[in-house]
Amino acid sequence: MAEDGAGEPTVESKLVYEGRILDLRVDTVRLPNGRLTTREIAEHSDSVCMVPLDSQGNVLLVRQYRKSVESHLLEVPAGGIEENEAPEDAALRELQEEVGYTAGKIKRLAGFWVSPGWCTEFMHAYLATELSPAQLDADFDENITVIRVPLAQTMDLITRGEIQDAKSVASLLLAMRHLGDN
């Protein structure tokens, strides 16, 4: 991947909102042609998502209401990485909080920017296998239902629009490729 090196040097940066899960800032930047413009940026900590696969070949997905899209979505479990927490540890913690299992094996599939046009969040995707019950208390603001779906059916769920969020689509496709189910 080639970079042109021009970039967009920041002339000024202004924090306009500080929240519980993200901060918002407006940067004034200089374009390669010399003009000034602004970039609105959501500062968000890094995160993890997991494809938890049980011994019967089922993926444990979560159904939860997402206010931003006013809809219940079917997703892979995911969550934030806490300060000084390794991504693998965050994945195991979130797995316990969201689906009530831990994994004997965890394999990093890839990492990706969630929405690089406006957000600093980088997500680490994992395949979690050798699952065993191990529950942690869920976050106070989450209402999650766990749904078991055969991994072989997830491509149909994606193409029918029943799985619509990018982290789930990407991580499920990566898991299928890793497992040879492409």
Identity of residue 72: H
Token duo for residue 10: 């920041």
Q: Is 99 helix (H, G, I), strand (E, B) or coil?
A: helix
Q: Which alpha helices (H) appear in the chain, and where do they start and end?
A: 87-99, 154-159, 166-179
Q: Is residue 142 annotated as part of the catalytic site, yes or no?
A: yes
Of 12, 82, 130, 142, the active-site residue reads: 142
CA distances from 90 to 24, 53, 63 (A): 24, 17, 20
**Among the listed residues 47, 50, 45, 68, the one whose alpha carbon sits nearest the alpha carbon of residue 146:** 50
- List phi, psi (to 5°) of 104: -75, -30
* R_g of the chain, CA atoms, integer Å: 18
Q: Give the contacts of 21 (CB within 8 A, at least 6 positions apart).
A: 44, 80
Token duo for residue 134: 């191990």
15 forms beta bridges with 25
CA-CA distance, 110 to 177, in Å (whole number)? 12
By annotation, the residues acting in catalysis are 142
